[in-house]
């Protein structure tokens, strides 16, 4: 009897402790200004141009340079390793707390529709569980996580390696009263320590590997298109330069480009493809086959900004 | 179904509750049923092969026991042949486009074996041991078939041992035991095992994977530290598994013998093998080394050295049919032979130092020797092993030219603050646990349930454990 009592007390203690931790983690993650989802949910950004996509735009498009050429205020909402579901949720959270932008620049490439490239990063939305849109997408994209997320603290314990540091940073931001993100406009300049090496170039596309179209990814592009229509946001799809020599490792690249064009035509959306810009020919402009280095990124952003001002805005 | 999953804990808890509620006569059928569910959850072939092989061994053992000394030779060798054939067929063959062929294995997690049979290597050794014991009239043969199946399939030990003999196991069935004491000590052991696996081994796994399998431009120091990581990972993974196996079995009223005795504190390689994978070492010593040494006794020390070498070659082959495992085994054979030859001179040399300094030097040397041998155990090919060795011994390129880029970033799989934070947390947890391991074991693993310790370890698992991308136990593949 004594043992049963102690056992029940221990279970109760454990559940209360986990619930307490869950509340603390949720609070401090929202206080972390360097987590984009938390930042845009707390701060009023109200940008006129929003940039969305995976690592390519986050390390490439500097709002400072873009604003200079377009005359509009922009914010880079892109996130590394993010797929279209991830992008959609970031946009959803942004729109909950901010005025809709006039333009949304969404990075789209053949990789965007192949599940081997980028992913849905559930942990970025752990503190937003409860929002029905977030719940629905997490349930679909990461059902195993969703199943356990109802258990006290499991929403954070499940991806503890991706969470703990951010919680500590949240504590620091809360304690110091910090209200701006480290990268205030969302642009993260590419690290200079990375070097272009031939291995990275060839490993991205093993010989004769075809892209595989994912209807799940296409579904999230449609959701982004839909949300843009609802909020009257002009959506512009774009692809930045890719290293010209890498095209030969992507046999069905043109098929995918055509399919993207079909989608954009059907939805009457602009699709700007810069994949064969002059800078594409020089390997030294790249860090990987699709990621430009700092200098080339600036050059591209200038061209992109001028083009947008002249033709799209 | 692996030990570090909720489904396993639910299975264990359900069996435990039923065991408490049902009358004593249902104990064995219940545990057999639980074992069958556990094995079939991996694949049904494993269960079928296990039942067939156990039944075959059981009846062969009966035959040996009831035959005279001349007649029993045939069923005995037939039994050994059957067991080894099963091992060869299911473990060493792989299915590929050309049909079946020998698989020269290395440690990897994409097993392409013909059929993956859970625990085959372990229960094959148990079956062989039983046949030998019966053949030499060293054990009773009045075991029933149902008890033999119970012994063979008992789920806490089926995956990766520890290897035990039927008489050690079955004599406990009808012993009077304290249920609450079994549950308390078993649960504590289970918690420690979960902690070792989820908080230490699985946190180290991605660093090891990256540095061994993906990155090939390591400087010497980075390669050496990555190698240490693997030594820690392997120890915490396998000993964590063993803790969970022993803990689960204890909760169900069965004592399983220890498989580890703080091996990373061993002061010599000989000492290491008394502390590491004890059940396999005991098996090999009893059934390979002793008989061989006896047959080679006329060769004196050469005979012993030969027996050590052959024993380790068999141990290597048991792990897999690859040159990597062979070289791993030969490394250890070499270490032990050198230790044996230099025993006297080392004893004279050690007189110059205090015993604690001797021990410390011994631990450092042994740890490094063991870790070096693990290069062959872990690397996916011989080329990879030698290039790793080359990195460690390339004295021109031993120290990184840029500490952040070439050392921290490589080990942490990224130079950003988050990656570094995760690396340091992992290192801190590993080192702290290693330092206080003995104290933790002595304080926590006692008859009395330590609620505070249990709560701390469970909370640590929730805070730092790896739940996603769960790594499977390394020794499950052997």
Determine the residue of chain A that is closest to B457 in CA distance: A14
B128 in Cβ contact with B122 (< 8 Å): no
Q: The domain A34-312: what is its CATH number?
A: 3.40.50.1110
Q: What element of type H or E holds A234?
A: strand A234-239
> Which residue has 């097993």 as its token pair?
B111
Query: What angle, 0 to 180 degrees and rounded to 10, lies between the N-to-C axes of helices B44-66 and B27-42?
Result: 130
Q: Which of B196-200, B218-222, B282-286, B420-424 has the lowest mean pLDDT?
A: B218-222
> For chains A and B, what is the number of CB pairs under 8 angstroms?
56
User: Which of the four pLDDT bands, split at 50, 70 and 90, describes residue B88?
Assistant: confident
Joined tokens for residue B441: 């074991």
Quick check: B463 and A10 CB within 8 A? no
Give the integer Cα–Cα distance in Å for B32 and B3.
17
Query: What angle, 0 to 180 degrees and rounded to 10, lies between the N-to-C axes of helices B382-392 and B323-341?
Result: 50
Task: Domain ranges for chain B, please list them.
Answer: 6-177, 182-470
* Across B357-367, average pLDDT: 95
CA atoms within 13 A on the CB side of A122: 25
Percent share of chain B, pLDDT over 90: 62
| pLDDT given for residue A159 in this prediction | 95
Joined tokens for residue B3: 């030990």
| pLDDT given for residue B354 in this prediction | 86
B283 in Cβ contact with B129 (< 8 Å): yes
* Across B332-344, average pLDDT: 95
Joined tokens for residue A282: 């020089």
pLDDT digit string (tens) for B434-471? 999 999 988 887 778 888 899 999 999 999 999 876 56
| pLDDT given for residue B109 in this prediction | 41
The mean pLDDT of chain B is: 89
B129 in Cβ contact with B287 (< 8 Å): yes
Q: Which of A293-302, B254-263, B370-379 has the lowest mean pLDDT?
A: A293-302
* Across A273-281, average pLDDT: 81
Question: Measured between CB atoms, does A148 come within 8 Å of chain B?
Answer: yes
How far is B435 from chain A, CA to nearest CA, in Å? 24
For residue B241, is pLDDT > 70?
Answer: yes
Quick check: B468 and A14 CB within 8 A? no
B465 in Cβ contact with B198 (< 8 Å): yes
How far is A188 from chain B, CA to nearest CA, in Å? 12
How far is B410 from chain A, CA to nearest CA, in Å? 12
Nearest to A159 among B409, B425, B468 (CB): B468
* Across B214-241, average pLDDT: 92
User: Which of the four pLDDT bands, split at 50, 70 and 90, describes residue B103?
Assistant: low
A288 in Cβ contact with A204 (< 8 Å): yes
Q: How far is CA B251 from the centre of its chain?
A: 21
**Secondary structure (3-state) at A76:** strand
Selected residue of A157, A171, A192 to mutate for chain B interface (largest B Cβ count, 10 A):
A157
This model of the complex carries an ipTM of: 0.88
Q: How far is CA A194 from the centre of its chain?
A: 21
* Across B62-85, average pLDDT: 90
For residue A202, is pLDDT > 60?
Answer: no
> What does the DSSP assignment read for A112-157?
GG-TTS-B--GGGGGGGBTBHHHHHHHHHH-HHHHHHTTSTTHHHH
pLDDT digit string (tens) for B259-285? 999 999 999 999 999 999 999 999 999
Determine the residue of chain A that is closest to B420 in CA distance: A165
What Rg value do the Cα atoms of chain A yield, rounded?
A: 21
| pLDDT given for residue B139 in this prediction | 80
For residue B182, is pLDDT > 80?
Answer: yes
| pLDDT given for residue B78 in this prediction | 94
Determine the residue of chain B that is closest to A2 in CA distance: B180
SS3 of B105-129: CCCCCCCCECCCCCCHHHHHHHHHH
| pLDDT given for residue B357 in this prediction | 92
Percent share of chain A, pLDDT over 90: 72
For residue B67, is pLDDT > 70?
Answer: yes
For residue A7, is pLDDT > 50?
Answer: yes
Question: Measured between CB atoms, does A160 come within 8 Å of chain B?
Answer: yes
* Across B62-87, average pLDDT: 90
For residue A199, is pLDDT > 80?
Answer: no
| pLDDT given for residue B108 in this prediction | 47
């Amino acid at each position: 009897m004594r043992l049963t009592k102690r056992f029940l007390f221990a279970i109760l203690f454990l559940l209360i402790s986990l619930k307490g931790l869950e509340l603390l983690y949720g609070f401090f993650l929202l206080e972390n200004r360097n987590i984009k989802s938390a930042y845009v949910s707390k701060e009023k950004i109200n940008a006129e141009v929003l940039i969305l996509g995976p690592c390519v735009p986050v390390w490439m498009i500097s709002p400072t340079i873009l604003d200079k050429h377009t005359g509009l205020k922009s914010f880079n909402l892109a996130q590394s390793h993010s797929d279209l579901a991830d992008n959609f949720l970031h946009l959803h959270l942004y729109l909950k707390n901010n005025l809709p932008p006039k333009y949304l620049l969404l990075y789209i490439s053949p990789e965007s529709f192949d599940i081997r490239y980028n992913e849905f990063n559930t942990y970025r939305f752990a503190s937003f569980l409860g929002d029905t849109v977030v719940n629905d997408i997490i349930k679909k994209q990461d059902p195993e996580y969703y199943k356990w997320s109802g258990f006290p603290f499991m929403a954070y314990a499940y991806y503890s390696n991706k969470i703990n540091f951010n919680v500590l940073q949240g504590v620091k931001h809360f304690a110091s009263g910090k209200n701006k993100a480290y990268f205030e406009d969302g642009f993260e300049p590419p690290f200079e320590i990375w070097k272009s090496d031939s291995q990275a170039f060839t490993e991205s596309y093993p010989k004769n590997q075809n892209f595989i179209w994912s209807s799940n990814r296409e579904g999230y592009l449609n959701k982004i298109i839909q949300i843009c229509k609802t909020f009257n946001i002009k959506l512009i799809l774009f692809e930045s330069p890719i290293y010209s020599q890498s095209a030969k490792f992507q046999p069905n690249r043109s098929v995918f480009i055509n399919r993207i064009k079909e989608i954009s035509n059907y939805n009457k959306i602009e699709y700007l493809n810069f994949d064969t810009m002059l800078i594409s020919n020089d390997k030294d402009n790249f860090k990987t086959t699709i990621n430009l280095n700092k200098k080339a990124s600036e050059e591209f952003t200038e061209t992109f900004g001028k083009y947008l001002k002249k033709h799209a805005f | 179904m692996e030990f570090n999953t909720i489904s396993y804990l639910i299975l264990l808890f359900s069996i435990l509750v039923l065991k408490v509620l049902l009358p004593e006569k249902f104990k064995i059928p219940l545990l057999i049923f639980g074992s069958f569910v556990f094995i079939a959850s991996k694949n049904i072939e494993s269960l079928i092969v296990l039942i067939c092989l156990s039944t075959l061994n059981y009846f062969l053992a009966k035959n040996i026991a009831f035959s005279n000394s001349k007649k029993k030779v045939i069923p005995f060798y037939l039994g050994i042949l059957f067991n080894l054939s099963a091992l060869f067929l299911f473990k060493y063959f792989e299915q590929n486009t050309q049909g079946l062929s020998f698989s020269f294995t290395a440690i990897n997690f994409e097993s392409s074996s013909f059929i993956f049979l859970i625990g085959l290597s372990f229960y094959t050794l148990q079956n062989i041991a039983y046949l030998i014991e019966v053949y030499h009239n060293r054990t009773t043969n009045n075991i029933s078939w149902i008890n033999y199946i119970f012994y063979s399939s008992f789920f806490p030990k089926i995956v990766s041992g520890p290897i035990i003999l039927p008489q050690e196991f079955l004599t406990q069935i009808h012993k009077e035991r304290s249920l609450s004491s079994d549950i308390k000590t078993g649960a504590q052991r289970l918690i420690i095992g979960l902690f070792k696996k989820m908080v230490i081994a699985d946190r180290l796994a991605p660093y090891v994977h990256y540095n061994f399998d993906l990155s090939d431009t390591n400087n010497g120091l980075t390669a050496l530290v990555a190698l240490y990581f693997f030594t820690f990972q392997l120890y915490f993974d396998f000993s964590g598994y063993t803790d969970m196996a022993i803990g689960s079995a204890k909760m169900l009223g069965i004592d399983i013998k220890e498989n580890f005795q703080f091996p990373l504190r061993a002061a010599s390689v000989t000492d290491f093998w008394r502390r590491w994978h004890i059940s396999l070492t005991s098996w090999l010593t009893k059934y390979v080394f002793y008989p061989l040494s006896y047959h080679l006794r006329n060769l004196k020390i050469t005979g012993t050295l030969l027996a050590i070498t052959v024993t380790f070659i068999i141990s290597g082959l048991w792990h897999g049919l690859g040159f990597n495992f062979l070289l791993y085994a030969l490394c250890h054979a070499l270490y032990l032979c050198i230790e044996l030859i230099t025993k006297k001179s080392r004893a004279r040399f050690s007189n110059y130092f205090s015993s604690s300094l001797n021990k410390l030097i011994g631990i450092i040397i042994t740890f490094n020797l063991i870790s070096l041998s693990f290069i062959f155990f872990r690397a996916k090919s011989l080329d990879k092993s030698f290039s790793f060795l080359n990195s460690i011994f390339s004295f021109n390129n031993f120290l990184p030219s840029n500490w952040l880029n070439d050392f921290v970033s490589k080990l942490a799989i990224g130079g950003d603050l988050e990656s570094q934070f995760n690396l340091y947390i992992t290192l801190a947890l590993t080192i702290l646990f290693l330092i206080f391991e003995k104290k933790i074991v002595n304080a926590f693993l006692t008859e009395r349930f330590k609620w505070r310790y249990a709560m701390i370890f469970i909370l640590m698992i929730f805070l730092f454990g790896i739940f996603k991308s769960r790594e499977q136990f390394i020794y499950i593949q052997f």
